[in-house]
Amino acid sequence: MKIGLLTRNPKLYSHQRIMETAVARGHEIVPIDYLRCYMSITQAKPELRYRGETLEGFDAVIPRIAASHTFYGLAVLRQFEMMGVYPLNESVAIGRSRDKLRCMQLLARDGVNLPATAFANDPQRTDEILNLVGGAPVVIKLLEGTQGIGVVLGETHNSAKSVIEAFHGADVNILIQQFIKEAEGKDVRVFVVGRKIVAAMERVGPKGEFRSNLHRGGSAAGTELSAEEKATALRATQSMGLNVAGVDLLRSKTGPVVMEVNSSPGLEGIEEATSKDVAKAIFEFLERSARPHKTQTRGKG
């Protein structure tokens, strides 16, 4: 197959692993900087162009779109979809998962266990909002934050209230969530491919840090999942409509709760922690699901 890899940085570990695995399995893979793409949106023959050349003949596309470029990246991915190219993750599913508020609403609708979560625009309701999630300590999250950036722990009622009011004063959208103390700075990343769990690791934050992201200096090791944790991760992935996802869970007193569903999960941490070939699992799914030469056939019709 001819596969497009939408990425701004093909040198990242995850993207190198994807490209190496594609070549080893006999595929042609082309890294494409989606911000340098431009498109012709027509009914008869939608086109994508890149650095002066028409992008054509692709059978599948793997989107690895940075959170800060979601809007334009999804526009490029939608154009590939209009051209009949199979997406590893569909644009609408990525959009659901990237919007943290919408993600939480959909998960709650579909019966996925979540920490108590609140959202409001009225700074005069801060006391009430804090009570809705069980009171301090609370976790305050920027809706646009990634990799633990823009996540603040409000340890007391007054400190949480000050942070919330400051964000509101800066016209920044935030979520307020229950702090799961018993998680003890740990979380679980479950890697799902094609409705199957292919790897899972437990991440531990550095001493004194409640965030466990590896980008924040955390460490990780493979972990065994309970039946409830497996079911929760699969239900969350299905709720978003994703084929490939990294589901972040906390182990709470009431069972696993979902913190985030990541549509472009990294491969480095989980492959190192579990010794699982996650890139291979991705391509096995892609080979089962994509239809080779669909774009060429459509173009000739």
Torsion of CA 177, 178, 184, 190, to 10 degrees: -60
Inside any domain, residue 37: yes
Same domain for 22 and 82, yes or no, is yes
pLDDT of residue 215: 55
Indicate yes or no: pTM above 0.85: yes
- Report the CATH number at residue 165: 3.30.1490.20
Cα pseudo-dihedral 241, 64, 102, 46, rounded to 10: -80
Indicate if 161 and 198 belong to the same structural domain. Answer: no
171 and 257 share a domain?
Answer: no
Between CA 118 and CA 32 the distance in angstroms is: 38
Cis peptide before 137 (omega within 30 of 0): yes
Give yes or no: residues 202 and 140 share one domain: no
Residue 211 belongs to a domain with what CATH number? 3.30.470.20
Per-residue model confidence (pLDDT) at position 297: 39
Rg (CA), the chain: 20
Among 69, 88, 107, the domain boundary falls at 88
Instruction: Examine the domain organization and report whether 167 and 211 are in the same domain.
Output: no
What's the total number of domains in the chain? 3
The CATH number given to whatever domain includes residue 26 is 3.40.50.20
Residue 253, domain member (yes or no): yes
Domain boundary among 131, 150, 179: 179
**Is 262 domain-assigned?**
yes
Considering the domain architecture, whether residues 188 and 174 belong to the same structural domain is answered as: no
Q: Is residue 104 part of a domain?
A: no
Residues 190, 277: one domain? yes
Does residue 168 belong to any structural domain of this protein?
yes
Q: Which two tokens stand for residue 289?
A: 């699901």
Domain of 173 in residue numbering reads as 117-179
Q: Is residue 294 part of a domain?
A: no
Q: Is 69 left (phi over 0), alpha (psi -120 to 50) or beta?
A: alpha
* pLDDT value, residue 298: 38
- For residues 196 and 273, membership in a common domain is answered with yes
Please report where in the chains the tokens 């990541």 appear, as a residue. Answer: 262
Q: Given 131, 159, 179, which residue is the final one in a domain?
A: 179
Predicted confidence at residue 202, as pLDDT, reads: 95
Do 229 and 169 share a domain, yes or no?
Answer: no
Is residue 103 assigned to a domain?
Answer: no
Both 217 and 269 in a single domain?
yes
- Measured between alpha carbons, how far is 289 from 296 in angstroms, rounded to an integer? 17
Q: Identify the pLDDT of residue 44.
A: 77
- Same domain? 227 vs 259: yes
pLDDT value, residue 211 = 59
Residues 193 and 259 in one domain: yes
The answer to whether residue 187 sits within a structural domain is yes
- What are 201's strand-pairing partners? 189, 222
- Give me the tens of pLDDT residue by residue for the chain, a chain 301 residues long: 999 999 999 999 999 999 999 999 999 999 999 999 999 988 778 899 999 999 999 999 999 999 999 999 999 999 999 999 999 999 999 999 999 999 999 999 999 999 999 998 877 888 999 999 999 899 998 887 555 577 889 999 999 999 888 888 888 888 899 999 888 889 999 999 999 999 999 998 776 555 555 555 578 899 999 999 999 999 999 999 999 999 999 999 999 999 999 999 999 999 999 999 999 999 999 999 997 655 443 333 3
